[in-house]
Amino acid sequence: MDFLINWLANIPGFAVPFALGAMGLIICEKSGVLNLGAEGYLLIGAMAGAGSVLSFGGYPMLALGIAALASAALALVFAVLVIFLRVNQVISGLTIVFLAQGLTSLIAGKQGWTNKAFTGLADLDFGPLSDIPLIGPVLFRQDPMVYLTILAFFAVSYVMNRTHTGLRLRAVGENPEASDAAGINVMMMRLAAVLVGALFLGLAGGYLTVVVSKIWVDGMAGGRGWIAIALVIFARWRLWRALAGAVLFGCIEALIPRVAAIGIQVPQYFVLMLPYVVTLGVMVWTSLRKDTLANDPSALGRPFVREERR
């Protein structure tokens, strides 16, 4: 029973980076911009979050905000390349990943942030509610970002499905030419989607350092950006399916340290490869579904040139 309670209580914390990352990608890609740079935004956010705590002496919520803004700043470079200069979106996304890998190592190394532990964001304590058997640790003993992530999913789902802004965003991703003819500024809408999506990706990265590990090391993202991309495909660009997929991967990541804690000997490299094995399995399962691309934005990855409108 202790094993089960500890495992369930740790799932939300492990699921948050996947959930925030997938949500950011869905916002971006619903506008028609293919974003393969998720790993890079996570790295920038993780480094900025850790650096903020170490530089300002605490203030973890401020550090998470700075992590989001740092990721958005990097996304601005990506947006200029793919939206205004119409550079290939696949190549630009991969370039962002490699740029972030080198940039984070350079900045963190020069500032002396690498391998320095700090005090991050603590869990909330709801008093007697936290002591309720089984559900207390799971529902009432989490950090604030767990609850904010759930609220963010409700808010983003409402905006995308029930507001004119969301309708315009989806229209731009489906048919930018018709959207332009209807008076929508396609480029500005795509720019806003890229930046807002990057804010969530930066939050996911900041969460890894400010809340989970409370330390920065090179390569902190650990491939979670790539898993978030797979989650979006698995969810077929639907927010709540992405959240369910994030919980699934949170279950897997939370299980690994629990198994080690009870003394079960598991090969190290098997543990390291397990999330990616599951990712491959999810991708295969998704590809076998007949309606895999049922919600795929029709203009995804296609640059918009106003002069070519017909």
Please give the Cα distance from 29 to 36 (Å, whole number). 10
| 274-308 pLDDT tens trace | 777 877 887 787 777 665 455 789 999 999 887 65
pLDDT of residue 127: 83
| 122-149 pLDDT tens trace | 888 888 888 888 888 888 889 999 999 9
Question: Which among 39, 20, 40, 12 is positioned nearest to 226, based on CA atoms?
Answer: 39
284: Cβ contacts below 8 Å, ≥ 6 apart: none
Enter the pTM of the model.
0.92
Using alpha carbons only, give the angle 90, 92, 98 rounded to the nearest 5 degrees: 110
Question: Which among 18, 29, 34 is positioned nearest to 231, based on CA atoms?
Answer: 18
175: Cβ contacts below 8 Å, ≥ 6 apart: 298, 299
Tokens of 80: 């200029």
Q: Please list the ranges in the chain whose pLDDT falls under 70.
A: 268, 271, 289-294, 307-310
Instruction: Give the type of residue at 188.
Output: M
Question: Which among 283, 175, 152 is positioned nearest to 226, based on CA atoms?
Answer: 283
CB 48 within 8 A of CB 206: yes
Calculate helix-pair angle for 268-288, 239-261, nearest 10 degrees. 160
Domains assigned to the chain: 2-115+128-308 (1.10.3470)
Residue 290: its H or E element: none
DSSP secondary-structure letter at 212?
Answer: I
